[in-house]
Structure 1
Amino acid sequence: MDVVISIQHPGHVHLYRYVARELQSRGHRVHVFARDEPIIRALLDTYGLEYEALAGPGRSPGPRAVGQLAYEWRLLRRVAPLSPDVMTAVGGVSVAHVSKLVGARCVVFTDTEHATLTNALAFPLADRICTPRYYRDDHGAKHHRYDGCHELVYLHPDRFTPNPSILDEAAVDADERYVVLRSVAWTAAHDANNGGFDDVAEVIERIESTGARVLLTAEGDVPLGFADRCVDIRPHQMHDLLYYADAFVGEGATMAVESGVLGTPAVYVNTLETGLTDALAEEYGLLFRCHGDSRQERAVERTVELLEHEAEYDWERRRVDLLADVDDPLEAAVNEICGTA
């Protein structure tokens, strides 16, 4: 088959790098198209995936819509001569629209119930909607659930081996405790009227009062006077940094889930909830949710407690319990694309 993969977010590169290689190993021709964004290109180049970059991103509601339309138009022009058999993406707005114009089957992956605009634009035209089994909503006969989660496609121990050289790259001493703190820019459509931290500077100071170091990765503005906490590593090294961290605290659900499946306790600070983050919290105790009005205070208290009593927890056992409870999702993802699931 000719399979078209569309990538419009850096996190999707990690998922599709393995999916693309498995498809190619089965004899299929894979064509990767990506939004022309520096971090996406950096990841694709690092992983050695052949791709073509299309339109760049928009940064506000108006330009974002225009940018999306430009991306879809360019994707249509490039894909039409290929006559693909199937098109796939995470979220899947672009492939849902273009696939119908070129006669291809459309397979979209998602784990985000609250991405209501994206889901409304993509799902009616998709042939397959693939989600983790923990996903709350039901999208009818074309909705297929699989074990595990997107993050285990690339962080399953069969494919991910942490590289300890990240400690030297991040200038972290071998015996130094550190926490990865993630703040987001709140520009996604589903971020409207939602929030996470009230004061990132205060969070940093409270965590550092325990003697642990804070490594900050920020999408938006960095608090004045805290630029030296920003971690300067290459995008593909973030999972190594999360693996060796003593804890993660942040507003991003993806990095919280990544931390959890790596066996690093994750404190998720966001008014938005998902079935996946609920499962990691309730079934495996790998993630701690802080959603309400006092979410920052509870997040700081939980993070400090994890650091001060870390000897009382067996995070590796919890990770092993998760891995024992789910099938490797890579094969399920590829089978969905191939139509053999």
Structure 2
Amino acid sequence: MKILFDFGHPADVHYFRHLIFYLEKNGNEVEILARDKDVTLKLLENYQLSFINKGRGGTGLFDRLAYTLRSLQTLRKAFHHFKPDICISHASPYLALVAAFSKTPHIMFNDTEKAFLFDKVLKYLKPRTYSPDSFHRKEHKDLNLFDSYMELAYLHPDLFEPDESIKDLLGESYVLLRFVANKATHDIGHVHLNHDYKRELVDTLGKFTKVWISSEDPLPEDLKPYNLKVAPSKIHDVIACSELVISEGATVCSEAAMLGIPSVFINQNTLGYISELDKEYQLVDHFSADKNGRQAALERAVALLKDPDRRETYLQRRQRMLATKKNLTQLMIEIVENVAGEIGKEIHKNEPAI
């Protein structure tokens, strides 16, 4: 069977890499199209996954339009020469459009309520859409809910064990700060963290432990000594061995939660899975990015670092969460098997399920 994937973000590589490995081991043909965003292509190279580069996007209206046209053209060509039986994405409107016109089943995962064009894609293009059961917008009648998180497609204990040798490079104790570019459509109009606040985080937390920064945008000169320099594929080892994560990006906070690491999310976006990890499992603390929210976030971070029982508390909370959530890669395999059966195809099972 032939399966085509469309990647628009580095996280997509992690979401689907174990599924791709499984499909290829079982004799299926896979083709990946990927946007050149942040470390997406480096990750694909690290995991030795072949791909077609769709080029870089942009922030201006003209750049966005140009990327849309280029992406659609690249996908159309891929459909013409590869002729996929099924295609898979994480909320790709480009793939949804091409798949709809080619009448190819499109399995689309989405955990972001404010995803660009999500409503229109569901209404008019009708992909088979799957979201976590924490998704706030359950009113969509064609939405399939699953009892997991996207991050459990690669950080479930069945799939990931941290490499603690990362401490040889970063130190025995450290916190990770994650700053994002805030250029996505769901970030438009939101307050973002300025350099003065980033310096305050470094100065305050640096009194307790080492500080490392992962940033999509270039750092100012005085913060460059804190810049994290590890292979992109090692970021989950970095998170797993940290004392605390503070992030503007939801994915990194969710990843920390999957690993039992305390995280502070500073962002005005409201996301179902973050709300659940915050309120139901107390694994993430969510604060707005306005002045009061930033101050409260810093105070919470200090309180966490002062708590001697922090690690044991969060590992217990993680175990409670994992008891209610499934290995998402295994669920993905089952979804692909079901869709393949509907179109008279099958996954050749040479390998056991994950």
TM-score by length of 1: 0.93
SS in 1 for 2:112: coil
- Match of 1:131, as an amino acid? S
SS in 1 for 2:55: coil
1:334 counterpart = 2:330:
no
Asked if structure 2 preserves the Cα contact closer than 8 Å seen for 1:280 and 1:286, the reply is yes
1:246 counterpart = 2:243:
yes
Aligned mates of 2:117, 2:256 — CA distance in 1: 25
Q: Which residue of 2 aligns with 1:260?
A: 257
SS in 2 for 1:267: strand
Aligned mates of 2:88, 2:139 — CA distance in 1: 18
Aligned mates of 1:14, 1:8 — CA distance in 2: 12
- Match of 1:48, as an amino acid? Q
Asked if structure 2 preserves the Cα contact closer than 8 Å seen for 1:96 and 1:123, the reply is no
Structure 1 window deviating more from structure 2 (263-272 vs 118-127): it is: 118-127
Asked if structure 1 preserves the Cα contact closer than 8 Å seen for 2:193 and 2:289, the reply is no
Aligned mates of 1:331, 1:32 — CA distance in 2: 20
SS in 1 for 2:56: coil
Q: Which residue of 2 aligns with 1:237?
A: 234
Q: Which residue of 1 aligns with 2:319?
A: 320
Deviation at 1:119, TM superposition (A): 1.2
Aligned mates of 2:204, 2:225 — CA distance in 1: 16
Deviation at 1:85, TM superposition (A): 1.6
SS in 2 for 1:155: coil
- Match of 2:274, as an amino acid? T
Q: Which residue of 2 aligns with 1:16?
A: 16
Q: Which residue of 2 aligns with 1:301?
A: 299
Query: Could you list the runs of 5+ residues in structure 1 that have no partner in the other structure?
Result: none
Structure 1 window deviating more from structure 2 (135-144 vs 120-129): it is: 120-129
Q: Which residue of 2 aligns with 1:67?
A: 67
SS in 1 for 2:42: helix
Aligned mates of 2:335, 2:236 — CA distance in 1: 26
Q: Aligned pair in 2 of structure 1 residues 203, 53: CA closer, same or farther (>3 Å)? A: same
Q: Which residue of 1 aligns with 2:277?
A: 280
Deviation at 1:206, TM superposition (A): 1.7
Deviation at 1:122, TM superposition (A): 3.0
Give CA deviations for 1:225-261 in whole Å, capped at 9, x if unaligned: 1110111111011100000100001100000100111
Query: Could you list the runs of 5+ residues in structure 2 that have no partner in the other structure?
Result: 342-354
Aligned mates of 1:271, 1:29 — CA distance in 2: 41
Aligned mates of 1:106, 1:231 — CA distance in 2: 37
Q: Aligned pair in 2 of structure 1 residues 126, 21: CA closer, same or farther (>3 Å)? A: farther
SS in 1 for 2:202: helix
Q: Which residue of 2 aligns with 1:33?
A: 33
Aligned mates of 1:136, 1:78 — CA distance in 2: 34
Q: Aligned pair in 2 of structure 1 residues 258, 56: CA closer, same or farther (>3 Å)? A: same
Which aligned pairs between 1:183-198 and structure 2 lie closer than 5 A? 183-198=179-194
Deviation at 1:338, TM superposition (A): 3.5
Q: Aligned pair in 2 of structure 1 residues 126, 338: CA closer, same or farther (>3 Å)? A: farther
Deviation at 1:49, TM superposition (A): 1.4
Q: Which residue of 1 aligns with 2:309?
A: 311
Asked if structure 2 preserves the Cα contact closer than 8 Å seen for 1:166 and 1:240, the reply is yes
- Match of 2:222, as an amino acid? G
Q: Which residue of 2 aligns with 1:100?
A: 100
Aligned mates of 1:220, 1:139 — CA distance in 2: 36
Q: Which residue of 1 aligns with 2:122?
A: 123
Tell me which of the two structures has the higher relative contact order, counting C-alpha pairs closer than 8 angstroms and 6 or more residues apart. 2
Aligned mates of 1:180, 1:53 — CA distance in 2: 30
SS in 1 for 2:212: strand
Asked if structure 1 preserves the Cα contact closer than 8 Å seen for 2:158 and 2:327, the reply is no
Aligned mates of 1:18, 1:223 — CA distance in 2: 37
Select the residue among 168, 176, 179 that pairs with 1:180.
176
Asked if structure 2 preserves the Cα contact closer than 8 Å seen for 1:4 and 1:88, the reply is yes
Matched residues, percent identical? 26
